[in-house]
Every structure is written in C-alpha cells, then in structure tokens.
A and B are shown apart, each in its own frame.
Chain A
C-alpha cells in the first residue's frame, strides 16, 4: 500500500513450487521402451499443464483475496475450485460493485449450503446505509453489468447486500 513495497508484506518464501528433483534420480530409473516413453511424455505434459492451471487458479484466488473478504475454512475456495470461471467474473464484478456501492464498501464472499444440499456462492456488499440506497445500488449494478454477464456463472453466483 503506502509505506512499503508489497513484497515486504510477505515473508519471501514461496511454498507453492516444490524444489526440482535431484539429478541422480534420472539415472536410477529402469530403461523403458520408446512406447512407454511416449506415454510417459504425455502424462508428464498433462501434469505440467495441470500445474499451470493450478498456478493460474491460485493467482486468481490471490487476486480475489485482495478484493473480497473470504471466510475461514474451505467453503468458498472449495466452491471456486469446482467453478473455475467464477473467480475471473468476481474480479470484474468487484470493480462494478465498488462503482455502484462506493469504493469503501466491504465485499464478502459466502458459500452456504441451501435446503437442497447444494452450494451457491454469494457476493455480499456490506452496506452501512439505508435499505433503499442499497437496493438502488444493486439494481443499477444488475442493469448495467450483471444481466449482461450472468450467463457465465451458470446460476451458481448471486449478488446481494447486507446491512451493517
């Protein structure tokens, strides 16, 4: 934020990338035929690809943590892991919510389980003002942005407000 660079706000340890395998491991493997190597390459590519997807998802989650207050536990992160398009949508939505509710408004994510046993995600604007003003802000947000983008969420994401 102001006084320090963002890097100084973390310890500097990156725990997400395991260290590279030791060199000697390459020489301890049994020699395999070409076909198996091919298969192994495919799997290795797949693993690499999945690792890239995971890294991208983790980056999107970190971006969300800067924009929304996430509850303790894994309800929201677990939901977002299963709905990979929603983090990006939430990043865009945050800009719009801040525009209509105000830059100081605190945005929160919740993923409760409903009566049917399924989980939905709620993006909640914590509103210190009147109900009428909150409704007006939410209506404007819906009309200007959410209606046009809601299809991407496939009915799993809701925007609302909570009076505080």
Chain B
C-alpha cells in the first residue's frame, strides 16, 4: 500500500543554452527587453519586476523578469536563459508551458538566438503525514551500507546520474518529515513543450512508484 504524501513545496526550472552566444544581448538589448515586457503584459509584469543583473561572472549577468503573481522568473544572458516557477503542480503545467513558450519564442525572435538544449529540473518536497520519512528512504539504502552499523539509519541521500538525466533523493531540509526529490533531464531543442512535460511526468511517476508513495488526491 503506497504511503500518501502531499507536496508543500516545489519548483520547476529550465536552462536553455543557445547554439551560439549572441553578444548583442549585452550591448543592444533594449528591443528584446521591450518585446519580452509586452509579451509578459498579460501576466501583469511591471517595470519594477525587471532587474538588471550586473554582478557575478559574465555569463551570470543579464536581465531578469519576475512575474510575481505566477511566481515565475525569466533570466536571459548572451549565452543562455533560465526560466523558473515556484510552487508548480501538474494542474498548472499548461499555464507554465504557455509562459515558457512565450518567453523562449519572444527571446528567439527578437534576440536572434537559437536554443540548442533544454535542461529541465523539477524539485519537490513531499511530506508524509504519519509514517516517518526514513521508512520510505530505507528502500534506497544499499544493503552493504546499511550493514556498516547495527543501529538503524536516521537518514540517507542518493544521487544517480545518466547521460542526460539525474535523480537526487534526500531528506528534506525545508519541511518536517519530508523527502526532497529532484529530477533533471536534458532535451534537444527539437522536443516539444508538451512532450517534455509528458516525459517529466513519467519520470516523476517512476520515482514515486519506486519509493512506493502516492500523491494525496
């Protein structure tokens, strides 16, 4: 019988690397910023929601938009752009796709860039209501490691990496009795937004099934 969990915290992130950096985005970006501002208007973006980041490495400097009502941020620099949304869920996935699509397509058209890869991250803090979280995490402790000590393990973490995929499972540092699940997958630029969402949902379902937990409905 799967343990029932809730997801009090989550976020979604996409890092889009361009085929080639466009250094004009450093020097002549007013038209791009204006175009993005107009594209985000339907989500109530305001002038104060636009930040110019001038600190850090060159690749970390650029323009950041915040759509506060949707808890979305969109940052672009000459080499890559990053989209994040906090408190995401599969119910809001169509809206997330709409905002992401608007951001990327506007940037591609006005900023003259071509996406090369989409590196996606979904992170969840799932919370068990009564069973201790270690009861679920115990499933991923290798037997040889558990045998190192006769005392029961108090927590564990696991990171598994593939060529274009990575899964991290850990105790949550943010919520009580929670498990932190972070799964990442890299998609080619040719992938559709709906196809990426479908694949990420399948990844999540696989992790939940492996941990034997189920989202409360």
Contact = CB atoms under 8 A, between A and B. Distances in A.
B117 interface: no
A3 B86 CA distance: 22
Contacts of A103: 154
B48 A19 contact: yes
A66 B173 contact: yes
Interface stretch (B26-34, B127-135, B207-215): B127-135
A147 interface: no
Nearest to B47: A22
Interface in A105-163: 105-108, 126, 162
A12 interface: yes
Interface in A44-102: 62, 65-70, 72
A75 to B, nearest CB: 14
A64 to B, nearest CB: 8
A53 to B, nearest CB: 22
Question: From DSSP, what is the main secondary structure of chain A's interface residues?
Answer: loop
A106 B123 contact: no
B129 A2 contact: no
B68 A1 contact: no
Given A3-B159, A65-B8, A69-B127, A13 B174 contact: no
Interface residues of A, number: 33
Interface residues on B, range: 35 or more
Contacts of A62: 174
Interface in B38-79: 47-49, 51, 66, 68, 71, 73
A4 B8 CA distance: 20
A1 B6 contact: no
Contact of B68 (A15, A21, A162): A15
Nearest to A106: B177
Interface string B1-19: 0000010110101000000
Interface string A8-51: 01111101001111100000000000000000000000000000
Interface stretch (B97-105, B164-172, B198-206): B164-172
Interface of B: 6, 8-9, 11, 13, 47-49, 51, 66, 68, 71, 73, 84, 86, 123, 125, 127-132, 134, 154-159, 168, 170-177, 180, 182
